[in-house]
């Protein structure tokens, strides 16, 4: 979906069609706007933006006959925003009209069935009292009572617009349900089809935000848009596009700020920490993780962020800082007292926690402890925790690496540990999995395993696995 947020006016002369000219002659604003959408392809939101920043709901109300604008400023914005010659709308030629356009529009207006009188314009059969001749500042065509009642009518129209909304509670509930479904499904399904579904849902949220709704509903929509951008950030990284992941993460943060939602702030910072980690910016990953812990509510976001901090410290080689972070992981787990709102990808159960611990312990040189944590993670999945093929894959990799890092390297045990992972379909071979497997390949190439047939065979399997994963991501869907 290509989205344009600029204010490019419609092409010159779009109005010079029989049906549009008839609507202009009849001063039928609703029909003019409908035909503008038909002939220019502009949306209601884009037309509203061109008409001085009017909300999509206001344009919709006019087109549906629920609102009948009669004030001069509206018709001036109609002429200027949609590039309609002034005389076609009972106005003086506009400043943007060239001499030739002004001449043609004057000629077009000269024979109109509705003669315009200087200083007095009629629209839809009703006089615009703001353009009527004045005596001491009072329109001569209206009484004081009529002016007061007209002002009241205008206020009533504004009240109706302010009360209107392009989104209801059912829509917000549906968004929430779909986001939770996507976050859960992502743990079990190939990422690319879900990426496209998430983009479509995000676009729906963006479209609604361009319209008009109550302030509380606007905050809810920003929360929804932020959740979807955070999901897209995580998916983009898994699909090997870190720059796109960073962009999605920044937009998710903007939405979290506009929504004023600490829970979303925490998970957005988690996605940004993950993106920075896999881009090799470990100090930045730590800063995001630590900052996220300041916002984290009493769900598993704090557990996840502490895991990510420990992971980055271990990658930097600071064993003590990594172990200190692992202690915070357990404290955060002990303090969890509320369910995750989204769940799925945005949750950190005991298996995911144990998987992170295994990776950290490998990097600080404790392979036996890492294997125990990996076994604990797999046992959690077997005991009923929601399966996540990406986390399981990382766990198998940690076990395999652990067998290669013990005092007596065991390439056969490593191959057995990797067997479930190597059977993973090509479309589920995430970029993060490929990068971790390449670390195992470096261990297999170590001098201690020189001459090992099992090590050589496993290297060949890993290289084939990684090549198929890269090839799959290069295919345009």
**Class of residue 266 by CB neighbours under 10 A (exposed 0-12, middle 13-18, buried 19+):** buried
Full DSSP string of 146-177: HHHHHHHHHHHHHHHHHH--S--HHHHHHHHH
The answer to whether the beta carbons of residues 14 and 83 sit under 8 Å apart is yes
Q: What pLDDT digit, counting tens, does each position of 43-78 carry?
A: 888 898 899 888 888 898 899 888 888 778 888 899
pLDDT given at position 232: 96
Do the domain assignments include residue 65?
A: yes
Handedness of CA 58, 63, 64, 66 (dihedral sign): positive
The answer to whether the beta carbons of residues 78 and 51 sit under 8 Å apart is yes
pLDDT given at position 375: 96
Please give the DSSP secondary-structure letter assigned to residue 346.
Answer: B
Decide: helix, strand or coil at residue 90: coil
pLDDT given at position 391: 94
Q: Whole-angstrom Cα distance, residue 191 to residue 124?
A: 55
Do the domain assignments include residue 97?
A: yes
**Class of residue 331 by CB neighbours under 10 A (exposed 0-12, middle 13-18, buried 19+):** exposed
Q: Which tokens in the block code for residue 331?
A: 């404290």
Q: Whole-angstrom Cα distance, residue 473 to residue 477?
A: 9
pLDDT at 107 over 60: no
Q: Whole-angstrom Cα distance, residue 354 to residue 377?
A: 5
Q: Whole-angstrom Cα distance, residue 231 to residue 245?
A: 9
Which residues have a Cβ under 8 Å from the Cβ of 465 and sit 6 or more positions away?
Answer: 421, 422, 424, 429, 434, 437
Q: What is the CATH number of the domain that holds 105?
A: 1.10.260.40
Q: Which is higher by pLDDT, 150 or 119?
A: 150
**Class of residue 178 by CB neighbours under 10 A (exposed 0-12, middle 13-18, buried 19+):** middle
pLDDT at 109 over 50: no
pLDDT given at position 52: 85
**Class of residue 281 by CB neighbours under 10 A (exposed 0-12, middle 13-18, buried 19+):** middle
Residues of the chain above pLDDT 90, percent: 55
Q: Which of 273, 282, 367, 361 is nearest to 316 (CA)?
A: 282
Handedness of CA 72, 78, 83, 89 (dihedral sign): negative
Residues spanned by the domain of 79:
18-163
Lowest mean pLDDT among 52-66, 180-194, 214-228: 52-66
Q: Whole-angstrom Cα distance, residue 209 to residue 240?
A: 30
Do the domain assignments include residue 33?
A: yes
Do the domain assignments include residue 417?
A: no
Do the domain assignments include residue 60?
A: yes
Q: Which tokens in the block code for residue 158?
A: 């504004």
Do the domain assignments include residue 183?
A: no
**Class of residue 98 by CB neighbours under 10 A (exposed 0-12, middle 13-18, buried 19+):** exposed
SS (H, E, C) 393-408: HHHHHHHHHHHHHCCC
Decide: helix, strand or coil at residue 15: coil
Q: Whole-angstrom Cα distance, residue 451 to residue 193?
A: 43
The answer to whether the beta carbons of residues 397 and 403 sit under 8 Å apart is no
Q: Which is higher by pLDDT, 106 or 432?
A: 432
pLDDT at 16 over 60: yes
The answer to whether the beta carbons of residues 239 and 195 sit under 8 Å apart is yes
Do β-strands 126-127 and 122-123 pair in parallel, antiparallel, or remain unpaired? antiparallel
Q: What pLDDT digit, counting tens, does each position of 222-280 carry?
A: 999 999 999 999 999 999 899 999 999 999 999 999 999 999 999 999 999 999 999 99
Q: Which of 117, 113, 110, 27 is nearest to 70 (CA)?
A: 27
Burial 86-95 (b: 16+ CB within 10 A, else e): bbbbbbebbe
Average of pLDDT values for 128-157?
A: 57
Do the domain assignments include residue 29?
A: yes
Q: What pLDDT digit, counting tens, does each position of 286-302 carry?
A: 999 999 999 988 899 99
Q: Whole-angstrom Cα distance, residue 265 to residue 366?
A: 34
Number of domains in the chain: 1
Do the domain assignments include residue 73?
A: yes
Backbone Cα Rg of the chain:
31
């Amino acid at each position: 979906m290509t989205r344009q947020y600029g204010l490019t006016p419609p092409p010159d002369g779009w109005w010079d069609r029989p049906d549009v000219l008839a609507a202009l002659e009849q001063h039928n604003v609703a029909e003019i706007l409908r035909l503008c959408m038909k002939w220019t392809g502009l949306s209601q939101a884009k037309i509203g933006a061109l008409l001085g920043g009017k909300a999509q709901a206001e344009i919709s109300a006019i087109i549906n006959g629920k609102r009948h604008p009669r004030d001069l400023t509206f018709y001036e914005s109609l002429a200027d925003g949609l590039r309609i010659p002034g005389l076609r709308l009972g106005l003086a030629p506009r400043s943007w009209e060239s001499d030739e356009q002004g001449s043609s529009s004057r000629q077009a207006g000269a024979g109109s069935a509705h003669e315009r009188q200087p200083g007095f314009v009629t629209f839809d059969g009703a006089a615009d009292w703001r353009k009527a001749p004045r005596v001491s500042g009072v329109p001569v065509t209206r009484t004081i009572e009529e002016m007061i009642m007209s002002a009241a009518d205008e206020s009533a129209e504004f009240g109706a617009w302010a009360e209107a909304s392009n989104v209801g509670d059912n829509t917000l509930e549906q968004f929430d349900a779909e986001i939770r479904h996507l976050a859960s499904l992502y743990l079990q399904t190939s990422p690319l089809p879900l990426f496209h579904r998430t983009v479509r849902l995000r676009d729906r949220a963006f479209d609604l935000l361009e319209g008009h709704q109550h302030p509380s509903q606007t905050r809810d929509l920003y929360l929804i848009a932020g959740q979807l951008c955070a999901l897209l950030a995580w998916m983009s990284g898994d699909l090997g596009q870190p720059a796109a992941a960073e962009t999605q993460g920044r937009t998710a943060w903007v939405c979290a700020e506009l929504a004023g939602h600490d829970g979303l702030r925490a998970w957005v910072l988690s996605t940004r920490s993950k993106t920075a980690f896999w881009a090799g910016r470990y100090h930045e990953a730590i800063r995001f993780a630590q900052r996220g812990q300041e916002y984290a509510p009493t769900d598993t976001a704090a557990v996840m962020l502490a895991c990510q901090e420990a992971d980055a410290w271990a990658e930097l080689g600071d064993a003590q800082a990594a172990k200190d972070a692992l202690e915070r992981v357990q404290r955060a787990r002990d303090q969890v007292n509320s369910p995750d709102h989204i769940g799925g990808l945005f949750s950190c159960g005991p298996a995911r926690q144990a998987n992170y611990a295994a990776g950290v312990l490998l990097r600080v040189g404790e392979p036996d402890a890492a294997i125990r944590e990996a076994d604990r993670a797999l046992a959690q999945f077997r005991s009923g925790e929601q399966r996540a093929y990406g986390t399981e894959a990382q766990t198998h990799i940690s076990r395999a690496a652990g067998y290669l890092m013990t005092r007596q390297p065991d390439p056969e045990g490593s191959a057995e540990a990797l067997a479930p992972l190597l059977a993973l379909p090509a479309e589920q071979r995430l970029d993060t999995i490929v990068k971790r497997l390449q670390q195992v390949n470096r261990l297999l190439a170590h001098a201690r395993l020189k001459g090992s047939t099992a090590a050589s065979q496993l290297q060949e399997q890993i290289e084939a696995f990684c090549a198929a994963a890269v090839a799959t991501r290069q295919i345009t869907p």
